[in-house]
């Protein structure tokens, strides 16, 4: 089904390219401009690399590197020059693109944002990371949910970011909203390699959904990102895997959203996303359509609490050098300061 990495594209195929981008150091506006130009050049490389490619995906932190610097001078805005450059590159090369920015937030910490731009240069998907990688990351928790769009060739497309993919509820939400392809961009470093691999496969299999996943690659002199571009079929089979750790390599494969749709409607055994709400339909008509899960009920009720809640030791970012926050979720920085 891989079609030799997309070289032999089928009528219903979508060819995805995952860029294992060299991890940069970005500390100044000049650095930001230079890295923007590097990404734009890589969009061109992707198009030249494979004429059949429909979507090129850049990792989380492709633009900002792993410094966790929240300096407003290097934060982006959706109407700023970086996004404009990405839009122009997609239009010029007639290719869809997925990009990462750290977005200025006047009401608090910056947002970790992923965007998908179509082959005409229009922003089609805008996502704020729901689960920053605490306690390491300082980003504001996302507040827009998980959008699902009509992507290349009409495929239903979703995007999550890095640590998001460690929560099975994230992939389930993507699939529940119709996603046939879920992108997962990341900056993960080598200690996460094994969990990265098995969660990418589990997210695909449990939801009968293609997952396309990629990390930054190489070293910035401090951190070593791992690349590990993985395209996983809806049955959990790995279609392509960048295991060499070669920076700026583009890992490619063809995926088939039409076969995802066929599996979701035709599978009996292991059609788990359907069977979640139709438990035991062999025994009872339509299956049991209830919610037997305490954690779901408690989250909705606002009473979610672990049995070991009071024993949890790391509950803020102070262990990673960030000050303990005093502002509640949904409260602006200005409001919090005024209350003091």
pLDDT, one tens digit per residue, over 305-339 is 999 999 999 999 999 999 999 999 988 876 666 66
Mean pLDDT of 157-171: 98
* Domain housing 49: 3-267
Q: Which residues are catalytic?
A: 60, 129, 162
Helix axes 29-49, 81-93, angle to 10 degrees: 10
Question: Strand ranges (DSSP E) for the chain?
Answer: 14-20, 55-57, 96-103, 111-117, 123-128, 148-150, 156-161, 181-186, 210-215, 217-219, 224-226, 230-232, 238-241, 249-255
Contact call for residues 160 and 127 (beta carbons, < 8 A): yes
Cα–Cα dist 292/300, whole Å: 14
pLDDT, one tens digit per residue, over 63-89 is 999 999 999 999 999 999 999 999 999
Name which of 55, 57, 85 is nearest 151 in CA terms: 55
Q: Would you place residue 245 in the very low, low, confident or very high pLDDT band (cuts 50, 70, 90)? A: confident
> SS3 sequence, 51-82?
CCCCEEECCCCCCCECCCCCCHHHCECCCCHH
What average pLDDT does the chain have? 96
Statement to judge: residues 217 and 122 lie in one domain:
yes
Q: Does any domain span residue 299?
A: no
Domain endpoint, select from 246, 267, 288: 267
Q: Does any domain span residue 12?
A: yes
Query: Residue 64 contacts by C-beta under 8 Å, 6 or more apart in sequence?
Result: 26, 32, 35, 74, 100, 101, 102
Statement to judge: residues 246 and 185 lie in one domain:
yes
Q: How many helices (H) and strands (E) does the chain have?
A: 9, 14
Domain count across the chain? 2
Statement to judge: residues 192 and 91 lie in one domain:
yes
pTM above 0.75, yes or no: yes
Q: Is the pLDDT of residue 27 over 60?
A: yes
């Amino acid at each position: 089904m891989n079609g030799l990495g997309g070289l032999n594209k089928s009528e219903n195929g979508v060819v995805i390219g995952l860029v294992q981008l060299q991890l940069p150091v970005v500390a100044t506006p000049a650095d930001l401009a230079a890295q923007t130009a590097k990404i734009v050049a890589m969009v061109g490389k992707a198009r030249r690399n494979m004429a059949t490619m429909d979507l090129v995906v850049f990792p989380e932190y492709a633009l900002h590197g792993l410094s966790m610097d929240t300096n407003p001078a290097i934060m982006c805005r959706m109407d700023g020059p970086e996004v404009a450059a990405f839009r122009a590159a997609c239009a010029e090369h007639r290719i869809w693109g997925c990009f990462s920015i750290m977005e200025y937030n006047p009401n608090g910490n910056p947002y970790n944002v992923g965007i998908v731009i179509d082959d005409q240069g229009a922003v089609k998907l805008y996502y704020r990371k729901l689960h920053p990688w605490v306690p390491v990351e300082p980003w504001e928790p996302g507040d827009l949910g998980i959008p699902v769009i009509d992507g290349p060739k009409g495929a239903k497309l979703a995007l999550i970011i890095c640590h998001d993919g460690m929560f099975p509820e994230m992939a389930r939400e993507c699939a529940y909203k119709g996603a046939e392809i879920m992108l997962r961009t990341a900056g993960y470093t080598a200690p996460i390699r094994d969990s990265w691999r098995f969660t990418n496969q589990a997210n695909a299999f449990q939801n009968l959904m293609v997952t396309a996943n990629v990390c930054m690659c190489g070293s910035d002199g401090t951190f070593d990102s791992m690349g590990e571009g993985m395209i996983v079929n809806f049955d959990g089979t790995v279609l392509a895997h960048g295991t060499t750790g070669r920076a700026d390599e583009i890992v490619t494969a063809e995926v088939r959203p039409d076969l995802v749709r066929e599996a979701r409607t035709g599978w009996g055994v292991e059609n788990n996303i359907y069977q979640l709400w139709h438990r035991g339909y062999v025994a009872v008509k339509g299956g049991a359509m209830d919610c037997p899960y305490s954690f779901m009920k408690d989250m909705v009720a606002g009473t979610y609490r672990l049995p070991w809640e009071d024993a949890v030791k790391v509950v803020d970012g102070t262990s990673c050098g960030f000050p303990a926050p005093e502002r509640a979720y949904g409260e602006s920085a200005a409001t919090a300061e005024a209350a003091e």
